[in-house]
Amino acid sequence: MGLAVLRDVIQLLLYALLAAFSPLALAATMTAIQAGRRQALGLSVGFVAGQLATCALFVILDFAAVGSSRRTYPGIRAPLALALAVVLVWLASRVRRGPPPAGEDSKSRAHAMLGRLSRLGYLTTLAVGLLLGIGGPKRLVLTALAAALIATSGARNSAEAELVVVYVALATALVWAPVAFYVVRGEKAVALMKAAQETTARHQPAVTIYALRGLAAVLVIDAIGILLV
């Protein structure tokens, strides 16, 4: 049981790490910070709330699907884990080769969105943060996987709630942490956070590759353990 819990915790942390490294969310956070404290707070509160609501909803849906018995269906789980591990290794190889160059249209749309964000008020940035926290395909898939892991972990309801909070805190860390630092330190923190943003962007591919490979290894170990039982 101890090894199973450790495996689930490691898997959950890797999901959160992959979700946290979002260049768009970090860029939006820096734009909101430069726009002012109200915009920064609105974006961060909305982002965390959106991620929390999505994760909690997925956990509720997963619990309703598997029922109170929490059956894990080992005959299905092992092949699915191996298949997902293969997909993760493939994704890691894609990241290592580097993403395709972004077109001028996509770059201009991103710059235009960030430019509009700098002129928005508190309630509007709150709504933008909420949408970013709910996320696109990548964040939604990672949140769904984390929620499924939490719902089938066999933990009590209070422990499930704690796992949701831990996942959300880590998955949104690159949004709420810079804003909290800015609120405490003021304008003096902006230069430091810009340097941190550049460092994060530089190391994001390597972190993503290691996280994907780590998840694949955990899934393979999980599948082998199921098959040997």
Burial 192-219 (b: 16+ CB within 10 A, else e): ebeebbeebeeebbeebbebbbbbbebb
At 220, is the pLDDT very low, low, confident or very high (cuts 50, 70, 90)?
confident
3-class DSSP state of 4: helix
Tell me the pLDDT of the chain averaged across its residues. 80
| pLDDT at 142 exceeding the cut of 70 | yes
Of the candidates 154, 145, 180, the residue with the CA atom closest to the CA atom of residue 16:
145
Is pLDDT larger for residue 221 or for residue 49? 49
According to the model, what pLDDT value does residue 197 have?
Answer: 73
pLDDT tens for residues 37-94?
Answer: 888 899 999 999 999 999 999 998 877 766 555 555 555 667 777 888 888 888 888 8
- Using alpha carbons, list the distances in angstroms from residue 12 to 5, 19, 123, 135, 165: 10, 11, 32, 18, 12
According to the model, what pLDDT value does residue 207 have?
Answer: 81
On the CB side of 140, CA atoms within 13 Å amount to: 6
| pLDDT at 25 exceeding the cut of 70 | yes
| pLDDT at 102 exceeding the cut of 50 | no
Interacting residues of 208 by C-beta distance below 8 A, sequence separation 6+? 18, 21, 92, 95
C-beta of residue 160 within 8 angstroms of C-beta of residue 12: no
- Using alpha carbons, list the distances in angstroms from residue 7 to 1, 68, 217: 10, 22, 11
At 114, is the pLDDT very low, low, confident or very high (cuts 50, 70, 90)?
low
